[in-house]
Amino acid sequence: MNYKDKYNQWLSFADEDTVNELTALTDEKEIEDRFYKDLAFGTGGLRGIMGAGSNRMNRYTVGKATLGLADYLKSKHDGEISVAIAYDSRNNSQYFAKTAAGIFASQNIKVYIYDRLVPVPVLSFTTHYLGCTAGVMITASHNPKEYNGYKVYDSKGCQFCTEDAKNAIKYINAVEDYSSIPFLEESQLIHYIGDKELDAFLREVKKQSLYEEKSDLKIVYTPLHGTGNIPVRRMLEGMDVTVVKEQELPDGNFSTVRSPNPEEKDALTIAIEKAKEIGADLVLGTDPDCDRVGIAVKNADEYRLFTGNQTGALLVHFVLAMKKAQLNDKSTLVKTIVTSELGAQIGRKFGLIIEETLTGFKYIGDKINKYETSGEQEFVIGYEESYGYLVGTHARDKDAVVSSMLICQMAAWYKNQGKTLVDALDEIYEEYGYYLDYLDSFVLKGKDGAEKIQSLMSYFREKGTALFDGVKEIVDFSMGIRDLPKENVLKYIFHDGSWMAVRPSGTEPKIKIYYSIVDSSREHASDRLEKLRMLIRNIVEN
């Protein structure tokens, strides 16, 4: 069917609210965008703008994904099947979670659903803790308010990786008749969970604590209207923490920020203002589903925002310094292919094995699963440049609860030495060289945008080394590199160890350009970065 046929089909079966929304559409381009394709699994499962249509997040696309997933689980597992479900603070998250619960129950699958909003790592933990066959988290992470999403986890609490996702999508695509989706309101197979499971998660997080000496460190924390408020504050009990009142409570419209993404400077603006007012040492912000955390550090009279790579490198150094006596020849650090080498260099100095994965924390979780099975390696820390970190194996996804606890303990450790995290980072640069990391994201929406992203990737491949000076090699991950799954990523490695990577986002209509410049001089690195960025802008915007 073409998009117009699909549009008309929806008008024939959808509920009244959906039909009203669709008939009110007057822009043909908008209708095309809503129906030219179905939402597809990317690096983070389903994710899309909420609204009516096959290319939107709504009760029908959630229903299709859930029914297909139920069929896949039944094809793979004999005996009782159970699924854990959780949701964040976004608009419709609870509604989508209950929609999924009803559909699983209609397929004779037992459901454990949270009676409150909780972070992503809590769902990851709970899936394994309750012995479930799979888990589902309704979230769009740090995306703007218009988005929602559907993440799927295996029995260990790791997001579906290549094989599972590929097989599940076959079953999801086989659900062609939206009118046949069995929406169920109530069932004896649906069980609500809450205090007991959350407490068990927090106990596991607390086991990762590394430094509990008293300190006069002052912290400002913002949950950015999300799920981190209660669990993060419980992990910071005993420390001097001021919570940003305007951003404390859940708000699916994220009314105080342009975007609830701690990677973006303005997300922490209100928290930094509060920090200036009370003279705090550290600003901490977690995204709506509390799997990412961003920080700003007092530096003289200002607050310096740290990148995910900088915070990651500091955490690597702190965790390894604190765990030095426990490290052995199996100890492993895992990072993604677009994460800076600085943390890896620190890990090597401590004698760790360094492993790389594709972008997406599910690949780090998958490594933990493999280490647990083989016993040949031991996971110590994993992180990615996009503000996601994990210490411990209680979860198989990035965890801003444990990360927030450790970042604050790290800041207290340095403060007791008379240092800030800025001082600590400068010491690391002094020892390992200066690393300047940057990310450019170009938003290219709709069908035209998707085609432009494809043509840009073709252009980068065709031009190869002719595009930039000083390229030592180009790594094309779509060809299959080492034991990594094939992925549409190009990485340009320069002779001095600097690199640049080009990658279409798996969850948003974006093409992302990652830069990592290694130099002894901050100024020289900045000049080189600007020249590269200008070249890229000319290519993408023309």
Distance CA 347, CA 331 (A): 10
E-strand ranges in 58-101 read 82-87
Q: Which two tokens stand for residue 91?
A: 């608009």
Q: How many Cβ atoms from other residues are within 10 Å of residue 167's Cβ?
A: 14
Q: Does residue 86 sit in helix, strand or coil?
A: strand
Q: How many Cβ atoms from other residues are within 10 Å of residue 203's Cβ?
A: 10
Catalytic (active site) residue 209:
no
3-state secondary structure 247-311: HCCCCCCCCCCCCCCCCCHHHHHHHHHHHHHHCCCEEEEECCCCCCEEEEEEECCEEEECCHHHH
Distance CA 339, CA 342 (A): 9
What separation in angstroms does the CA of 444 have from each of 6, 450, 456? 24, 7, 11
Distance CA 390, CA 396 (A): 8
Distance CA 491, CA 507 (A): 20
Helix-helix angle 421-432:342-349, to 10 degrees: 80
Distance CA 136, CA 123 (A): 8
Distance CA 477, CA 486 (A): 6
Distance CA 237, CA 240 (A): 8
- Sequence-distant (≥ 6) Cβ neighbours of residue 339 within 8 angstroms: 308, 309, 312, 383, 384, 385
- Sequence-distant (≥ 6) Cβ neighbours of residue 355 within 8 angstroms: 332, 333, 334, 335, 367, 377
Q: How many Cβ atoms from other residues are within 10 Å of residue 342's Cβ?
A: 26
Q: Which of 82, 89, 141, 404 is catalytic?
A: 141
Distance CA 498, CA 133 (A): 43
Distance CA 429, CA 444 (A): 36
Distance of CA 63 to the CA centre of its chain: 23
The answer to whether the beta carbons of residues 33 and 451 sit under 8 Å apart is: no
Distance CA 456, CA 438 (A): 20
Distance CA 126, CA 129 (A): 5
Strands 110-114 and 82-87 turn out to be parallel
Looking only at Cα atoms, what is the longest distance across the chain?
69
The catalytic residues are 141
